[in-house]
Structure 1
Amino acid sequence: MDAKQIFDPDVKLYDSITASRSGRDEDEPKYRTGQKVKLLEDIVNDGTYPHAKIGTLMMPKGSIGYIKDMGEFLQVIRVYEVHFFGAEMEVEIIGCREHELESIEDGYVSEEALEREAMKAHRQKMSKEDK
């Protein structure tokens, strides 16, 4: 390897063995944007949320939310950004893995419908705080 070369082009960055060890998800996503889902287990802070101690409950099992977006961690772990409207927790948007979720509705929910529901939940939450 040349002294100026930063990486070895012969090193394989992805293979089926290391992918299975890292918990790689299926090639096709299980959920879609706008889909209604339920949490199958408690979500605790694993250190990715900087404003709470590691191990803090972020969202309880059974919470209902909607898939807002989808991304990947380390190019092999699919993470869904799930919005739990009106949650009585510190945050309403949590990153979840496929095995932590269960589909409630198969249909697509429009952004307009999600926004209406979010505004309704926000108004209810604010009216409770005002009392």
Structure 2
Amino acid sequence: MGLGREEEIETRGKPIFMPGTKVRANRYVKNDGTFAGREIGEMLVHKGDVGYVRDVGVFLQRYYIYAVEFIDRGTVVGMRGRELNQEPEQAR
């Protein structure tokens, strides 16, 4: 009998986003105390903010964490793939 907390181990596959990918946040992100220089509970990213993936890391050998630079906010925030959507490139 499982505990109901089983999640797929993301790192068995390839990352969803690669560095340079334009993404849009699909959730609000508040500081949980791990973002230095900002108050706990302060809003770091608003739903709909657009940023660029700078780097891809791994957390607990299970999850990909995407370092996303939100240029308009002047922040780089670590986010899970499920918190992001790829932003379609506009035709030039």
Shift of 1:55: 2.0
- 1:57 is matched by which residue type in structure 2? M
| TM-score normalised according to structure 2 size | 0.78
4+ long deviations beyond 6 Å = none
Relative to structure 1, is the Cα distance of residues 83 and 25 closer, same or farther in structure 2, using a 3 angstrom cutoff?
same
1:71 paired to 2:57: yes
Report percent identity of matched pairs. 31
Q: Secondary structure at the match of 2:10?
A: coil
2:10 aligned residue: 25
1:104 aligned residue: 87
Q: What CA distance in whole angstroms lies between the structure 1 residues aligned with 2:41 and 2:33?
A: 8
Higher relative contact order (CA 8 A, sep 6+): 2
Question: Equivalences for 1:1-16 in 2 at 5 Å?
Answer: none
| TM-score normalised according to structure 1 size | 0.57
Bigger radius of gyration among the two? 1
Aligned residues: 85
Greater helix proportion: 1
- 1:45 is matched by which residue type in structure 2? N
Gaps of 5+ in 1: 1-16, 107-131
Greater strand proportion: 2
Gaps of 5+ in 2: none
Contact conserved, 1:47 with 1:54, CA < 8 A, in 2? Answer: yes
1:61 aligned residue: 47
Shift of 1:105: 3.2
Q: Say what the alpha-carbon RMSD is for the aligned residues.
A: 2.3
1:115 aligned residue: none
